[in-house]
Copies of this chain bind each other. A is one copy, B any other.
Amino acid sequence: MQPDTVLITGGGHTRFGAHSQRDQVTGDRSDSYPLEQMLADATEEALMEAGLEASAIDSVFVGSCSPGAFAQQELLGPLVLQQQPGLRFKAVHQSTAACASSSMALHAAADALQSGRIRTALVLGIEKMTLLSTPAVTEILGRCSYWPEESARDITFPGLFARLGDSYRQRHGISTERYREMLATVAAMNYRRGIHNPLAQFGPGSLPQTAGLLSAQAILDLPQEKNPVIAAPLHLHDCSPISDGAVALVLVRADSGLKDATSVALRGRAISTDYLPLSRRPALHKLEGAYDSASRAYRESGITQADLDLVEVHDCFTSNQLLCIEALGLSDEGCAGEDYLAGEYGEDARCQINLSGGLKSKGHPVGATGASMHYFAYRQLIGRPVGTAHPGNPELAAVLNIGGSGVVNCTTVLQAV
């Protein structure tokens, strides 16, 4: 291991969910899990697992999408000082990259660690979305698209991802019926994993379990009012929910002397950025930036997709899970849906996809999502899985987290130490 290898040595993760309640009479919202408390809980848990005091952390890297608009609190890093005064006067960075915000924070932390200027870093991902109504959340998220052509014309994120999904379907000559089956298969698989994940919004005892939505057929059989079209071809059960949540990870350099028996190394990583407007992209049936970031991360790691034991991919919509699997090279172009229908990604597959339940089950507090994906991969690799466990002894994982409509594409390859 190189001296500048970056290791994850601790993680903390709040339960994801809708932690605000709306009063049915007044419409007022109350908040049972404020931003500050979520940050404090995730931080404390991660520091404890890493066996470090806050004062041993050299710099903090926070990722969040739109905390000013969602929760009136734009600066988040400094909030952590209030419960961890040992962090006072440390450098705090804050990254924003839509739904890839905390992967970007993790990459920035890794850069700083590899520069040799710091030995330890705390990476935080957070979003508090449920204080607002769904239309307000949709409007705020829309600012992460290209305003003049997209959000200004009332094209929402479900609409943008629907367009990517439909381009894929048409390109590969998939019938609308068959495509719906593919997406329902993905949703059901993610629900089946999520119901074992106590940190998931759709965790044990939640709707997918109580309503029996654990097979594709059960989802396809739902009446229209229980699974309405959000943006054709995407239905409600193709969409990840609106959520609150926070995640913390402790990162250290390999030569810091702080590695322990349960560390995970970042073997390779890359961020690749694509055009913001869909209108500028040469191809809409695949995520070209995600392909690029995956191939660069593999190259740095010296691995191929065939070496992977598990991946966490960005299923903000079920359609995007198919695009991510192809970008990672796990399925050939145009084949991910068929591979799902053929059972290639079942319980005994070599490479397990979204054992956490994915964004579909976990929830999608956008700024926390990237750190969460890394957290669940890390827990599998150290042999302390949360929720559904990998059937073997996984050693290599990849995370593909995406911000915007395939705009900011972050791939990380993780390896058990």
Contacts and interface: CB of A to CB of B under 8 A. Distances in A.
A224 interface: no
Given A93-B108, A273-B88, A274-B89, A65 B72 contact: no
A124 to B, nearest CB: 13
Given A81-B273, A273-B92, A98 B74 contact: yes
A78 B274 contact: yes
Interface in A85-117: 87-98, 104, 107-108, 111-117
A403 interface: yes
A11 interface: no
A116 to B, nearest CB: 7
B72 A69 contact: no
Interface stretch (A143-151, A304-312, A355-363): A143-151
A69 B59 CA distance: 28
Contacts of A68: 66, 68-69, 140, 143-144
Copies in the complex: 2
Contacts of A93: 95, 97, 104, 107-108, 271
A361 to B, nearest CB: 26
A144 B95 contact: no
A144 B273 contact: no
B117 A82 contact: no
Given A68-B140, A89-B273, A111-B108, A96 B74 contact: yes
Interface string A285-320: 000110010000000000000000000000000000
Interface string A48-85: 00000000000110000110110111110111011000
Nearest to A87: B273
27 contacts: A4-B115, A68-B69, A68-B140, A72-B151, A72-B152, A73-B146, A74-B98, A75-B276, A75-B408, A77-B273, A78-B407, A78-B408, A81-B273, A81-B274, A87-B273, A89-B289, A91-B273, A93-B95, A93-B108, A95-B96, A96-B96, A108-B108, A111-B115, A112-B115, A113-B115, A114-B116, A115-B116
Given A77-B273, A88-B274, 19 more contacts: A66-B68, A68-B69, A72-B147, A73-B146, A74-B143, A75-B276, A75-B407, A75-B408, A81-B276, A89-B272, A90-B272, A91-B272, A92-B408, A93-B97, A94-B104, A108-B112, A111-B117, A113-B115, A115-B115
